[in-house]
Amino acid sequence: MTSTTDSTRALLLSRIRDVPDYPKQGVLFKDITPLLADPTAFAALTDTLAELCVRHGATKVVGLEARGFILAAPVAVRAGLGFVPVRKAGKLPGATLGQAYDLEYGTAEIEIHAEDLSGDDRIMVIDDVLATGGTAEASLELIRRAGAEVAGVAVLMELGFLPGRARLEQGLRGAPLEVLLTV
Ligand SMILES: O=P(O)(O)OC[C@H]1O[C@H](OP(=O)(O)OP(=O)(O)O)[C@H](O)[C@@H]1O
Ligand SMILES: Nc1ncnc2[nH]cnc12
């Protein structure tokens, strides 16, 4: 559990916009751009996530392209930790490790620079949304294949109507899943 206050949660929730049928019919898209445009809400979110990174003993923060970057980069700076990007396939110039996965509305492959993580690292993965859990699960696989330990996964929101938590549970191997909002 996080120490996020009810008022912080209410503020964050009030800045998430529901967009029905985007990007496909039947998907309820949770749009964080109103939250990002509100400096008070954005600071509350990054402060909360940074505190979780410190509490769980992370040595680096991994952000998941693309929305995860927007959150994870300021969190890493706030927590005094390095930032490591997990990118969609084909975007990183160095030697990469790759992992394919399924999304709520498609399939994708993500990659990491293997040299960005070491055996001494404990990694906190940060993203905006946990939906089916495919992206986060694939990132945990990459982190372990790169030789690092998983400190946890922290997301702004979990889509409670999808089985992301159950899917991720095995991949977490006991590491914490921190969810600020269940929507
Ligand atoms: O739990 P999952 O079903 O894997 O879905 C969650 C992921 O989906 C979204 O990213 P998306 O791939 O749409 O890319 P974006 O951040 O570039 O918009 C979101 O930002 C998460 O990374
Ligand atoms: N419903 C949704 N809203 C926002 N981001 C998502 N990523 C996967 N599913 C999503």
Q: Which ligand is nearest to the CA of 16?
A: 2
pTM: 0.96
Q: What is the average pLDDT value for the chain, to the nearest integer?
A: 96
CA of 178 to the centre of ligand 2 (A): 17
Closest CA to 45 of 23, 22, 66, 68: 68
Structure confidence by residue, pLDDT tens digits, 101-141: 987 667 899 999 999 999 999 999 999 999 999 999 999 99
User: Whose alpha carbon is nearest atom 9 of ligand 2?
Assistant: 131
Residues framing ligand 1 (Cβ under 6 A): 64-68, 103-104, 108, 127-136, 164
Alpha-carbon torsion (181, 127, 52, 73), positive or negative: negative
Question: Is 141 a known active-site residue?
Answer: no
Tell me the β-bridge partners of 158.
130, 182
Is the pLDDT score of 168 beyond 90? yes
Question: Is 145 a known active-site residue?
Answer: no
Cα gap 160→52, rounded to integer Å: 21
Alpha-carbon torsion (78, 56, 60, 95), positive or negative: negative
